[in-house]
A and B are shown apart, each in its own frame.
Chain A
Amino acid sequence: MSGAARTVSVNRVDGRLKVTGAARYAADQPVERLAHGYLLLSTIARGTVRAMDVTAAESSPGVLAVYTPFRSLALLGSGTPFSVGHSWLPLQDAEVRYHGQAIGLVVAETFEQARDAAALVRADYEVRPAAVSFTDGIPTATDPGPFMGEPARLEFLADGVGSIDEALAASEVTVAGTYQQPGKHHSAMEPHACVAAWQDGALTLYTGTQSASLTVGTMAAALGVEAAKIRVVSPHVGGGFGNKIATWAHPLLAAAAARTLGRPVKVVLTREQTFTITGNRSAVRQTVRLGARRDGTLVAVKHQVWASQSASGGIFESSAHTTSRYLYRTENLHLDQKIVTLDVSPPTWMRAPGQESGSFALETALDELAAELRLDPVELRLRNDATVYPGRNVPWSSKHLAECYRVGAQRFGWARRNPAPGAVLRGEWLVGMGMATANYPGERFPASVNVRFRPDGDVSVSSATADLGTGMWTVLAVLGAEALGLPVARIRSDLGDSTLAANLGAFGSGATASTGPAVAVAAEAAITALITLAVTDERSPLHEVPAADVRYDRGELVTSDRRIGFPELLRTVSSPGVEATGTAGPGPEHGQHAFTSFGAHFCEVRVNRWTGEPRLSRMTTVVDGGAIINAKTARSQIVGGVIFGIGQALLEGATVEPQTGRIANGNFADYLLPVNADIPPIDVHFLDHPDLLFNPLGARGIGELGTVGVAAAIGNAVYNATGRRIRDLPITLDKLLD
């Protein structure tokens, strides 16, 4: 394949399966003799389980077993495998590290029997004082040590400047603000679930995962079984958002219980349980100080971050290192990340980890600077556009952020914005406009793909990657069709199975960028194998034709005087199929550039003049993500990302009770996610600038980009509408009442 990928716009190949209910998610797998597990959760924040009374539960109808720290399941107690989401393995000790931690598993013939029996178990605790309040914990914050290859405290100063504060003090104009947001939960539509089935010492685990291969490694280590004996199957994942990368307590316990009971075991988390058994996004406080010249040139950026972390480990929000680190040109830059370690459930990656919160602070601060300077917010950003990656002095492979601003402003009608805050009243609504920048790194890792010509005329294109609703089923089909010159309908994609061609999975918005290039490599190799078969097999009409004289053309092998389709060839020689696996990955040249997707959001917000509720009325997002493979699923990714940001801006936030460590709103009635009525028309536009330095497709990732900056754009619009600057998310009506 030469040049960048061609953009097509096709329906999801798995769409019909999903809307008809035929798609089998983890919990839908038909497995015989299935037993059902229900997790028991701690109801204190910290302490020790002294005893658990399981007598009533054990004699409850249908119950097969009740596992607790005192009647445990064998897992390797020492050393927790890397990709378990917390630093310990469940039920291996009686410690309670947070409210809602797994402390037991009831297994019964039916789900209802297991749940009913679970309600009969009584735990007796020795309670120890717990630190659960993020705000109270700020003074205890610590340095997390280096991460993402850089120190937690990172500083670049211009020659002769003694400190960042000196640079700020010397600036003609400065603004400063403290920005806060509560912890958040991924809330994927499909709750975490698994089915574990053993046969002859080998485990098949059906579970919704973003990485079948990481899950295999983790399960192998925890169960003390060779990786070769574990197969993870995950054809459909009902949303992951980063929370289905790590392995959580339920598959570990399900697999161990299935091994002990000699029966397959299914565990489906209730919605409430997903809030604490699986991961979350840190609560974050940030302080941003900007120093600029009167003309808007940034001189100093100081971005300090405090993110919640769990005493059980986890992935904290790295807000400054993912945004202020490189988003704007500045002579003096100071980033400082701290963590606040609490007795709460572990944070993990969550869509745009770091950028989500970082962009809220930085992009709001920029709006504050624009207001201070009486400069248009778009103009301020254009004046500070970075052309080289600060501190590394490498250029971007492909950066068209300035075009995002211009095209976005044009499509949205930004010129009609009244810069005076609180000046536009339409009926009973104050109306305002805001904008912000989006950024997300282009990530790429090595991946393999298998391409197989089948005698029935179809071609399978498969890889152990994942489709989280992201469109990977379709991308494999589209790229396979492109590489082989066949219609999409003749490609059978396959994914979500650890036994397929090696692939790390779907995260870091890197699935398409990593897997896509391998499709072409595998297709080339499969074509070579097909030609080899054609010229070497005696039964082949092309037997003994020199391979160099045979050309592949849209499913056929062609010589100067003959032409034979691959299905006919395969049938003629009685071949079950010809296949090849190809691998592609980033090369050493990757060090010479910075790879980032960019974008710009523009939005209009209405705030009721009486009752203060903020409502989004329209939104435009322009994306510089390199080549787009399938416009339809790509648009869905951006729209989904934007909606994620709308939740961040207006609704979402976990309320951890300071007295108990319990998440007071850990359910879908009280943890508010946007509903359709909250979502206005979203205009998505892709700039089409293939990034061929990044990969042969020219495609960078777009799965997370859409989220970044949305909250700031909305907050900036609220400011424009009302003159009120809300630095504390979510922006709810109580903060807008006088």
Chain B
Amino acid sequence: MRPFDYTAAQSVSQALAGGGAGTAYLAGGTTLVDLMKLEVMTPRQVVDINRLPLRGVSADRDGLHVGALERMSDVAGHPLVTGGYPVLAQALLRSASPQLRNMASIGGNLLQRVRCGYFRDTSTGCNKRRPGSGCPAVDGENRGHAILGTSDSCVATHPSDLAVALVALDARVRLVGRGGTRDVRLADFYLLPGDTPEREHDLRPGELVTRVTVPALAWATRSAYLKIRDRQSYEFALASAAVALDLRGGVVRDVRVAVGGVGTRPWRLPAVEEALRGRAARPEVFEAAAALAVEAARPLTHNGFKTTLLRRTIVRALTNLVG
């Protein structure tokens, strides 16, 4: 770990005053401290934001609001979430471990870094960690890597489960900086790697994520998060699907499908949704729609199975939701 200065901000304005390039905000620290120990992240200043009032889970006409410093475990168990948006609660509960969920914040979760083994090992190259140093995953170990949204520069999957569920629900994040406040759709917030994999999202230096808003969606009560992985807990997704269904008389009136573990960012599937709308909620329909999910897939040497797995994951999630 490189030496750094630590300060604890007492207010948003104080945090913003200390923010900027070379500074990292500290929330739960489960990503930041981990990567600092590995010397993958080497901020010169760390500003602890845990005392800021970015808390609370509430609902109003605009939808569900979650403060950026709410802990994953608290949000997962909140009645507004378990009752109105099961997909969110499930995505949270299938993440990490109870100990981590007790520490980790919602804002930090959305900004967590990729789990690519090369990114985490400073003895290897990695374009994301050290721009221009190459991407060893392309020819190396890539069983867990992405099939959607990759570039020659980077093929790492976006790791957050929560983000997949939020993208399915069209969530927005509120970003506060010295220049002002803006609301951004989470789906637009994340960037494709392209030639600049070191740029992962549209957060400007010094900006804070203060809250997440999920637009009201009555039929999100029929929603679920299915996460497929080798072991049954404490592992990132090989493929996952966040789905919500508005079902009337066996027909899909409306639907949301976003997938994880397969894309370089949380991946919404509008074409799949379109193919389902107005159709009977039947396995053949689900299978035909799910096939559209992988049309643009670019498998790597070890992750070819993900094209099949992704289709099946979507079909299984939808089938279970119909019940």
Contacts and interface: CB of A to CB of B under 8 A. Distances in A.
B233 A672 contact: no
Interface residues of A, number: 35
A657 B140 contact: yes
B228 A611 contact: yes
Contact of A674 (B39, B120, B121, B231): B231
B230 interface: yes
Given A610-B313, A734-B309, A655 B230 contact: no
A665 interface: yes
Contacts of B3: 116
Given A737-B309, A738-B308, A112 B228 contact: no
A673 B140 CA distance: 22
B6 interface: no
Contact of A119 (B39, B305, B308): B39
Nearest to B1: A116
Contact of B115 (A119, A669, A734): A669
B309 A611 contact: yes
Nearest to B137: A664
Given A611-B228, A733-B309, A665 B117 contact: yes
Contact of A611 (B123, B232, B235, B312): B312
Interface string B34-56: 00000100000000000000000
Contacts of B115: 669
B141 interface: yes
Interface stretch (A3-11, A236-244, A401-409, A675-683): A675-683
Interface of B: prevailing SS: loop
B147 interface: no
A659 B2 CA distance: 30
Nearest to B306: A734
Interface in B292-323: 305, 308-309, 312-313, 315-316, 319-320
A610 B312 contact: yes
A115 interface: yes
Nearest to B229: A613
A116 B230 contact: no
B139 interface: yes
Given A611-B316, A665-B141, A675 B232 contact: yes
B104 interface: no
Contact of B139 (A611, A650, A659, A665): A659
Nearest to B144: A670
B238 interface: yes
A608 interface: yes
Most chain B C-beta atoms within 10 Å of own C-beta, residue among A650, A655, A662, A677: A662
Contacts of B238: 733
A372 to B, nearest CB: 29
B233 A651 contact: no
B162 to A, nearest CB: 18
B231 A675 contact: yes
A321 interface: no
A6 B230 CA distance: 43
B228 A428 contact: no
A615 interface: yes
Interface in A530-548: none
A384 interface: no
B231 A610 contact: no
Contact of A672 (B117, B235, B315): B235
Contacts of B305: 733-734, 737
B308 A737 contact: yes
A587 to B, nearest CB: 48
B313 A672 contact: no
Contact of A615 (B140, B143, B232): B232
Nearest to B34: A669
Contacts of B219: none
Contacts of A651: 230-231
B308 A733 contact: no
B26 to A, nearest CB: 18
Interface in A701-738: 732-734, 737-738
A732 B305 CA distance: 11
B140 A672 contact: no
Contact of B233 (A610, A611, A669, A676): A676
Contacts of B117: 664-665, 667, 670
Contacts of A733: 228, 230, 238, 305, 309
A613 B115 CA distance: 22
A615 B231 CA distance: 9
Interface string B119-150: 01111100000000000000111010000000
Contacts of B122: 119
Interface in A513-556: none
Interface string A591-628: 00000000000000000101111010000000000000
A43 B2 contact: no
Contacts of A615: 232
Given A112-B1, A116-B1, A669-B115, A678 B232 contact: yes
Nearest to B139: A659
Contacts of A116: 1-3
Contacts of A676: 233
A737 B123 CA distance: 35
A677 B93 CA distance: 13
A679 B140 CA distance: 31
Contacts of A738: 308
Contacts of B231: 650-651, 672, 674-675, 677-678
A611 B2 contact: no
Given A112-B1, A428-B319, A677-B234, 16 more contacts: A43-B123, A115-B1, A116-B1, A611-B239, A611-B313, A612-B309, A651-B230, A659-B139, A660-B124, A664-B117, A664-B140, A672-B230, A672-B235, A675-B234, A737-B308, A737-B309
16 contacts: A116-B1, A611-B313, A612-B309, A613-B230, A615-B232, A651-B230, A657-B141, A659-B139, A659-B140, A662-B124, A670-B117, A672-B231, A677-B234, A733-B228, A733-B305, A737-B309
Interface of B: 1-3, 39, 115, 117, 120-124, 139-141, 143, 228-235, 238-239, 305, 308-309, 312-313, 315-316, 319-320
Interface of A: 43, 112, 115-116, 119, 428, 608, 610-613, 615, 650-651, 655, 657, 659-660, 662, 664-665, 667, 669-670, 672, 674-678, 732-734, 737-738
In order of increasing CB-CB distance, the 8 nearest A-B pairs are: A734-B305, A677-B232, A677-B233, A610-B316, A664-B141, A610-B312, A43-B123, A737-B308
